[in-house]
Structure 1
Amino acid sequence: MKRYLCLALALLICMLFLPLMAGTNLFSQPQGQSPSPTKPEDTFLLLDEADGKVLTVSAYDYLCGAVAAEMPPSFHTEALKAQAVAAYTGAYRKREQQKASPDPSLQGAYFTVNTAQKEGYIPKEQAQAQWGDSFSAAWERIEAAVKEVSGKLLVYEGEPILAVYHAISGGVTETAGVYWGNDVAYLQSVESPGDTLAPEYQTQVSFGAADLQSALLTAFPDLTLPEDTAAWFGEAQLSPAGTVTSIAVGSGTLSGRQIREALGLRSANFSILAADGVFTFTVKGYGHGVGMSQYGADYMARQGTKWQDILTHYYKGASILSVEEQAAAVSSGVSA
């Protein structure tokens, strides 16, 4: 027994002094090496209009939640990838703008979302509660798409683009200049034939004269409408993409966008039929019509088009770079 005790004591002494003999410490990095640097996490600060709280989410979680909120998970995987890149580009651009010139109304956030209205972003738990039994398969598809395009940006002349998108165009997307009044080189009209096959591509909504008058005068108090309802609207002027650019309304002239917003129409691509005191608006598409059409992207993907080609189709002249490539291009003064 005494022999075994001696052996145990010798082994213990060796274990205690061996690190010192080797010139190292069991609880430190090896000499001559510094700890591995930790890359700052790619995060976004979101002001949730639903409750006024600022959410801090990783880029990965944001993209999954943005795709879940903005595009049906049943869409083709290549369309989901295109949506993820557009969403990341928009968020990245807004983050850079807020860091350079913060907007106090955002309370330190980079941009707003509304989780209650599913606008811009929803957290995973909310999607799970809303989708029920279909959640697992749907979320898996979204995650797969996001992982493949993580960190990819749409860039024009070295800067992240204004990557706007909409649900359905009128078969041709609209220019930024027509809808917002400011021309943007990469937001020009392009063909989007798949949109005409989308559900509710064309819809109708009717207003009685009294309801229409109330809505118009609420939005435009200086407007006057003649007694003859048949004379309320003149002939509409249209853009090549079909957007109403201007139309005489009573004593004034309004844009299609103004009428859309006043009446809650699905788009500014519409025609009006007046009969027996009832005004019927026939509307094509859904949304402002500028940038990527989501249903158009899904159609292109189902025809075999890859996400890169979907994006460069809708955002003319834009390039696709990684965050690292974009930063290197900016630092070297090279425009992508």
Structure 2
Amino acid sequence: MLKAIKPFIALFIAAAFVLIMVPALLVLPFSIKEENGRLSQHVDGQVRHEGKKVNAISEPAIEVSVYRAQSRQIQKFPLESYVAGVVAAEMPADFKIEALKAQALTARTYIVNQLMTHDKAGLPDGADVSDTIKHQVFRNDEELKKEWGSQYKDKLSKITKAVAATSGQILTYNGKPIQALFFSTSNGYTENSEDYWSSSIPYLKSVSSPWDKSSPKFYYKKTIPVSEFERKLGIHLSSGNAIGTVTKRTPGKRVGTVDFGNKKLTGKQIRETLDLKSSDFEWVRKGSDIVITTKGFGHGVGMSQYGANGMAEQGKDYKSIVKYYYRGVEIQSSNNLLHTLTARK
């Protein structure tokens, strides 16, 4: 009887070993890659981060063709890898995780909208998007290793976690992806889209953003020679201290219009012509120079990155953050839109 039992026990032990070890061997390569700071993997329709299921959303395989401006080459990246590269390039990795999630959501929304609209203006054939501020700044894995050095592993792990937590999600308005505009630092308010660009977009409206005042980019000073100031703006200043009159301000507290006597310019025109950080500015003449002080950094439309981080520091989650800066939007799955894109190819 004992001799008959021994083979049965050996068979039982072998079967148990297979049941335990095979799943472990299947998961192990993905866990190792993530421990080394690699981007999250899609396994059997599940997004995994640190070996755990993060979001049970099955996504179609979509690649983004990125025009690398420096090398003048087109490189292809899986959608979620592209999103991670944008978040890593556009927002400081030491920001709060909820702010990084909000940035991931805007980055994914932006590229899905770009892929849907087929706006290829200024791009070479075969490219979907560039890696510059014309679209979204992007860094690949090797570039991040050089930029972050010894902090690469920890920073990329945090970015990957933020991207994985929002996987498959985009921001929509009336069922369509929004123009998910964002910028660094507000002057205390965001700007209406129509007060910086020509079109009025219902979800891009001015809101208070008091968190930005703690941003290191809130104030900035720039000194310009009077002669250069006149030449660039196409004006002539009198010998006194007067430098035009602000005749209008926007709801976002930025300069709307400046009257120089024989010429009127918008705050946007002045900002872009003089390469200022913001269109909320004031200036003073000091001898042969004009000293310009700006508040905020960026166009001011959409989500403020430092504002998002300030909200996160106060305990707000990424959903609250994006719905505050983009009025009336919904967070929806991108699956149907991505499947449509896949069917077109």
User: Shorter-chain TM-score: which interval?
Assistant: 0.7 to 0.9
Please identify, of 196-205 and 124-133, the stretch whose mean Cα deviation from structure 2 is larger.
196-205
- For structure 1, the residue ranges without an aligned partner over 5 or more in a row are 1-35, 217-222, 329-336
Residue 180 of structure 1 aligns to a residue whose secondary structure is coil
Find the partner of 2:145 among 120, 123, 128: 128
Aligned to 2:194: 177
Residue 130 of structure 2 aligns to a residue whose secondary structure is strand
Alignment of 1:143-162 (within 5 A): 143-162=160-179
Aligned to 1:69: 89
Deviations 1:14-55 (A, max 9, x none): xxxxxxxxxxxxxxxxxxxxxx99974122111222222111
Q: Report whether the alignment pairs 1:257 with 2:274.
A: no
Q: Is the 8 A contact 1:202 1:283 kept in 2?
A: yes
User: Which structure 1 residue ranges, 4+ long, deviate > 2 Å from structure 2?
Assistant: 36-40, 101-106, 213-216, 226-232, 274-278, 324-328
Q: Is the 8 A contact 1:70 1:118 kept in 2?
A: no
Residue 170 of structure 2 aligns to a residue whose secondary structure is strand
Q: Is the 8 A contact 2:171 2:332 kept in 1?
A: yes
Q: Is the 8 A contact 1:49 1:113 kept in 2?
A: yes
Find the partner of 1:321 among 305, 314, 332: 332
Q: Return the letter of the residue paired with 1:262.
A: T
> TM-score, with normalisation over the residues of structure 1?
0.79
Aligned to 2:209: 192
The number of aligned residues is: 285
Residue 284 of structure 2 aligns to a residue whose secondary structure is strand
Find the partner of 1:201 among 198, 212, 218: 218
Residue 216 of structure 2 aligns to a residue whose secondary structure is coil
Q: Report whether the alignment pairs 1:296 with 2:314.
A: no
Q: Is the 8 A contact 1:206 1:281 kept in 2?
A: yes
Q: Report whether the alignment pairs 1:107 with 2:134.
A: no
Find the partner of 2:66 among 39, 42, 46: 46
Tell me by how many angstroms 1:277 deviates: 3.4
Return closer, same or farther for 1:102/1:208 CA change in 2, 3 Å cut-off. closer
Q: Is the 8 A contact 1:47 1:107 kept in 2?
A: no
Hey, what's the Cα distance between the residues in 2 that align with 1:236 and 1:113? 38
Aligned to 1:84: 104
Tell me by how many angstroms 1:296 deviates: 0.3
Q: Return the letter of the residue paired with 2:104.
A: A
Q: Return the letter of the residue paired with 1:198.
A: S
Q: Is the 8 A contact 2:230 2:237 kept in 1?
A: no
Deviations 1:276-308 (A, max 9, x none): 332121100000001000000001001000000
Residue 106 of structure 1 aligns to a residue whose secondary structure is coil
Q: Return the letter of the residue paired with 2:210.
A: P
Q: Is the 8 A contact 2:66 2:76 kept in 1?
A: yes
Tell me by how many angstroms 1:209 deviates: 1.1
Q: Return the letter of the residue paired with 2:264.
A: T
Q: Percent identity?
A: 31
Q: Report whether the alignment pairs 1:282 with 2:293.
A: yes
Tell me by how many angstroms 1:103 deviates: 4.6
Tell me by how many angstroms 1:197 deviates: 1.2
Return closer, same or farther for 1:74/1:105 CA change in 2, 3 Å cut-off. closer
Please identify, of 192-201 and 282-291, the stretch whose mean Cα deviation from structure 2 is larger.
192-201
Tell me by how many angstroms 1:232 deviates: 4.3
Aligned to 1:220: none
Deviations 1:74-116 (A, max 9, x none): 0000000000000000000001111xx655843121221139x
Find the partner of 1:215 among 194, 211, 232: 232
Hey, what's the Cα distance between the residues in 2 that align with 1:240 and 1:286? 17
Aligned to 2:159: 142
Find the partner of 1:240 among 241, 244, 251: 251
Q: Is the 8 A contact 1:78 1:145 kept in 2?
A: yes
Q: Which one has the largest radius of gyration?
A: 1
